[in-house]
Amino acid sequence: MKILCVNAGSSSLKFQAYEMPSEKVLISGVFERIGIDGKYSMKINGEKIKKDASLTTHEDAVRILARELISNGIVKDLNEIEAVGHRVVHGGEKYSDSVILDEEVLKTIEELSDLAPLHNPANLIGIRAFMKEIPNAIEVGCFDTAFHQSLLEDKFLYAVPREWYEKYGVRKYGFHGMSHKYVSSRACELLNKNDANIIVCHLGNGGSLSAVSNGKCIDTTMGFTPNAGIIMGSRSGDIDYSMIPYIMNKTGKSITEVDTILNKQSGMLAISGVSSDFRDIEEKLRLNDHYALLSHDMFVSSVLGYLAKYYVELGHVDAICFTAGVGENSDYVRKLIVEKLSPFGIKLDENLNEITRFGKEGIITTSDSLIPCFVIPTNEEVMIARDTYELTN
């Protein structure tokens, strides 16, 4: 059975086709700069192909993708694509799992656009485009917030007037759900223990941690929006909200301008003064740059605070997992974090830490470490494929 997995952004469209249930990747790629000038790249049998294209709309990208699927022999006919799984950023409280998409679900996704104004509308555009191009395929929505819907009231409510939640939906939703679900389930496989307690550290330009017990998320760092929690590439993470009206009064900036600053001009970018990309900042570390060092110290501190919190909330921890761009590839950041976990009896194996990078999965702690730490490359696409396959069948 052939399944296509799709992640539509405002000007991009990522895709990956699988043969299920073997989970064999048939083709993957991304369309970029949709509505600007347009280009796309594909990977087939290990070969990467790049092309320019006129991409006025997402429908243009979908039409070209359909053509490429046939011309590259992935399918002889588009009807061979039996299902399309779509990553949808926000499912609110409505969806705690992936669902087959129909007009009622699409209406709900549209209604939830107030909670994800940059993402849900783009997701809908992608869904509509595939419905038009491959009308016989079953369309499935896989929500980034769904995995965190297992949070209990004491974790998802804020200490604000109850009507904010009841009337306006103000609560912790959490994000990166497909990644946290994949990594925590993979950790259970590595431990050969289905009811394991796992802390997942999804560390990238955007970052979040989650505490997972018996396959269910019991707490996570991102909140009502993805700006809550740890320090990120350009997001502030947790702050004292009172600085917002203070800065507005001092600078004359609007609430929208301050919100943009907190989302796009803060975090590692603001502290380091270099970049939101950890790789660029690490170049400055070699020069012993004060602000590059400071940004890493503050980042590590923000991660450790939640690691300690989740250790207590879980009662015991079977494994700590690092994933996403920084978590998978920066042995330096992992070293800074794991060495600070020595009070928990955790011991870093420096050699294993250094070599476990660039897509490699493995353990990075010593054999006598009380809690093993793993690097597990995330695979949100395969989670979408699995959910889509399950629902389709």
**pLDDT tens series, the chain, 393 aa:** 999 999 888 788 899 999 999 999 999 999 988 988 889 999 998 899 999 898 998 999 999 999 999 999 999 999 999 999 999 999 999 999 999 999 999 999 999 999 888 789 989 999 999 999 999 999 999 999 999 999 999 999 999 999 999 999 999 999 999 999 999 999 999 999 999 999 999 999 999 999 999 999 999 999 999 999 999 999 999 999 999 999 999 999 999 999 999 999 999 999 999 999 999 999 999 899 999 999 999 999 999 999 999 999 999 999 999 999 999 999 999 999 999 999 999 999 999 999 999 999 999 999 999 999 999 999 999 999 999 999 998
Determine contact, residues 354/348, Cβ cutoff 8 Å. no
Q: Write the single-letter amino acid at 350.
A: E
d(CA 364, CA 335): 9
Q: What is the largest CA-CA distance in the chain?
A: 63
Catalytic residue among 60, 102, 144, 349: 144
User: For the chain, give me the number of helices (H) and strands (E)?
Assistant: 15, 14
Q: CA 314, CA 177: separation in Å to the nearest integer?
A: 19
pLDDT for 393 equals 86
φ, ψ (nearest 5 deg) of residue 319:
-165, 150
Answer yes or no: are the C-beta atoms of 224 and 169 closer than 8 Å: no
The whole-number pLDDT of residue 331 equals 96
* Domains along the chain with CATH numbers: 2-143 (3.30.420.40), 192-380 (3.30.420.40)
Residues paired with 156 in a beta bridge: none
- pLDDT score at 284: 93
Q: What is the DSSP letter of 348?
A: B
As a whole number of angstroms, the distance between CA 253 and CA 259 comes to 10
Q: Do 314 and 199 meet the contact criterion of CB atoms below 8 Å apart?
A: yes
Quick one: pLDDT at residue 66? 94
What pLDDT sits at residue 122? Answer: 87
Token reading at 44: 């087939």
CA distances from 99 to 83, 165, 175, 214, 359 (A): 12, 24, 17, 22, 30
Rounded-to-integer distance, Cα 228 and Cα 239, Å: 8
In this structure, are residues 51 and 30 in contact, taking their beta carbons and an 8 Å threshold? no
Distance CA 5, CA 17 (A): 6
Residue 144 catalytic?
Answer: yes
Rounded CA-CA distance 237/239 in Å is: 6
Four-point Cα dihedral 352, 317, 224, 103, nearest 10? 90
- For residue 79 the two structure tokens come to 């009807």
The pLDDT, as a whole number, for residue 84 is: 97
